[in-house]
Chain A
């Protein structure tokens, strides 16, 4: 059943429970994101998609990527508190990785030239978790994960050694918005290396016998499922438009 919600004084009709972010996109309202991807479950890690929601006469700040649309709610995407928080977030990102085009573009859009924060060392990873979630949800391998916490949090393989589950598909490298996972082409024919900073992921341990490898078969099945799911959502989305 469709419910009407108001985003920036525009009325949008969406299914109950649709993330506010998608509703806003339908109404052509721009909300910046780093950790959101259509194929993956909302994660709410980058906090850039923050919006102000008025519900039951209560005003609060929520991440729009994982906040479900409910009847009678009103959303504001460009108020002072929202702008202030986004500005701080982008400044922090800019201090962490000033060389990354995605972050620079975001900063320009927010009108931030340089970050006033002192930087220790430039990193490329923004810890959006896209690579980790893609590896888990779509590829279904979970070769990489997040570890540690606070300033030490990073994407690694378990025990920081060569992974025995990585199939070298390159999804993490493809999906990474900052390009910090590098895929190195064949040094030895049929072998591929993934570089994450100092860490190297080694490829297949099953001598590329993909037809009788359980990992590959599971991967294919999951991929098929994901593609069907994506097609369904997409066609539903198109039907909504027309």
Chain B
């Protein structure tokens, strides 16, 4: 836990309780998830009850209380993507990375989750890695997409 970084984020939002969601979002970018220890620290620091923070972090899907990979793969399961074969994409990702939904790979490189719609139905089936959208993905393309991120990290 990087206390100085968390302190500066809280400072940036003037420690106001109404800014808690923005603060949590910023803190999440530090480790890509919100560890229990960090939440307890924020609660103490901001004099906010932990129950409220726990409520917020479990209510919004954007927050994760379990570790995520450095790259989060989002597989769209909306109607258009489902018909386009997102199910086989999910199977392929599970096979390639040997992980279940919501859990990170051993080297914390990737984790994947399913989402209901990414709002890009014309590009179906869509797989988004971090903020990058990959269109018309089929099971054969998965490995190629993932390897580009691995190569980037190797550089």
Nearest Cβ in chain B — how far from A159, in angstroms? Answer: 6
Q: Mark A144-166, 1 if CB is under 8 A from B, else 0.
A: 11111100000011110000010
Q: How far is the CB of B90 from chain A (nearest CB, A)?
A: 22
Q: Are A145 and B36 in touch, CB under 8 angstroms?
A: no
Q: Which of A177-208 contact B (CB under 8 A)?
A: none
Which residue of chain B is the closest to A149 with respect to CB atoms? Answer: B59
CA distance A146 to B58 in the complex (A): 9
A110-154 contacts to B (CB < 8 Å): 132, 136, 142-149
Give the total of B residues in contact with A, Cβ under 8 Å: 11
Contacts of B53 in A (CB 8 A): 158
Q: Closest residue of chain B to A135, judged by CB? A: B51
**What does the 1/0 interface line of B35-59 toward A look like (CB < 8 Å)?**
0100100000000011111110011
Q: At the interface, is chain B mostly helix, strand, loop or mixed? A: helix
**Within the complex, which residue of B36, B50, B51, B59 is in contact with A132, where a contact is CB–CB below 8 Å?**
B51
Q: Determine the chain A residues whose CB is within 8 A of the CB of B52 once the complex forms.
A: 142, 145
Chain A 219-235 interface 0/1 with B at a Cβ cutoff of 8 Å (1 = within): 00000000000000000
Judge whether A143 and B59 touch: CB under 8 Å: no
CB-based contact B49/A159 at 8 Å: no
How many Å from the CB of A86 to the closest CB on chain B?
27
Residues A148 and B59 in contact, CB atoms below 8 Å apart: yes
CB distance from B129 to the nearest CB of A (A): 26
In the bound complex, CA of A145 to CA of B56 (Å): 10
A158-B54, A159-B54 known; A145-B59 Cβ under 8 A: no
Q: Which residue of B lies closest to A147 (CB)?
A: B58
* Contact for B55 among A143, A145, A165, CB less than 8 A: A145
Chain A, Cβ-Cβ closest to B43: A158
User: What residues on B are CB-neighbors of A148 within 8 Å?
Assistant: 58-59
**B58 and A157 within 8 A (CB):** no
Contact A158 B59 (CB under 8 A): no
Chain B contacts for A156, CB-based, 8 A: 54
Q: Are B59 and A136 in contact (CB under 8 A)?
A: no
Q: Are B36 and A143 touching (Cβ within 8 A)?
A: no
B59 touches A142 (CB 8 A): no
In the A-B complex, the 7 residue pairs with the smallest Cβ-Cβ separation, listed nearest first, are A145-B51, A142-B49, A158-B54, A147-B58, A158-B50, A142-B51, A148-B58
A selection of 9 A-B contacts at a CB cut-off of 8 Å is A136-B49, A136-B51, A143-B51, A145-B52, A145-B54, A147-B54, A147-B55, A149-B58, A149-B59
Binding site for A on B (CB under 8 A): 36, 39, 49-55, 58-59
Q: Which residues of A contact B (CB under 8 A)?
A: 132, 136, 142-149, 156-159, 165
